[in-house]
Amino acid sequence: SQQGEEDPQALSIQEGENATMNCSYKTSINNLQWYRQNSGRGLVHLILIRSNEREKHSGRLRVTLDTSKKSSSLLITASRAADTASYFCATGKAAGNKLTFGGGTRVLVKP
């Protein structure tokens, strides 16, 4: 099974609203990353949070990490139609050399 599992699988909101999605994982990690994928395109890195960090901001993005619950959340504030995409969390282990991706959350922002 996937190391990271996103919830919900799909999300539909109106432009201007906030979008929140969650990621749970099973084993200890070195860092957790969020990526965006527009339809038919490759993945684009959004933000990385390390295991010793609890919250990180980048523009309209806010990421939290709770290592005790093995979970992370991604908040997109004041969403725009251009935010319509799939969002994936990915975890990296301290002794590993690859990122393990979850199944993704499909976000639709309606204008």
Partner 1 sequence: GAGVSQSPSNKVTEKGKDVELRCDPISGHTALYWYRQSLGQGLEFLIYFQGNSAPDKSGLPSDRFSAERTGGSVSTLTIQRTQQEDSAVYLCASSPRDRSTGELFFGEGSRLTVL
Stretch near partner 1 under the rule CB under 8 A, chosen from 11-19, 56-64, 65-73, 98-106: 98-106
Distance CA 64, CA 74 (A): 7
Interaction with partner 1 in 35-94: which residues (CB under 8 A)? Answer: 35, 41-45, 48, 88, 90, 92-93
43's CB contacts (< 8 A; 6+ apart) are 35, 36, 37, 88
Q: Is 100 in the site for partner 1 (CB under 8 A)?
A: yes
Interface residues with partner 1 (CB under 8 A) are 2, 30-31, 33, 35, 41-45, 48, 88, 90, 92-93, 96-104
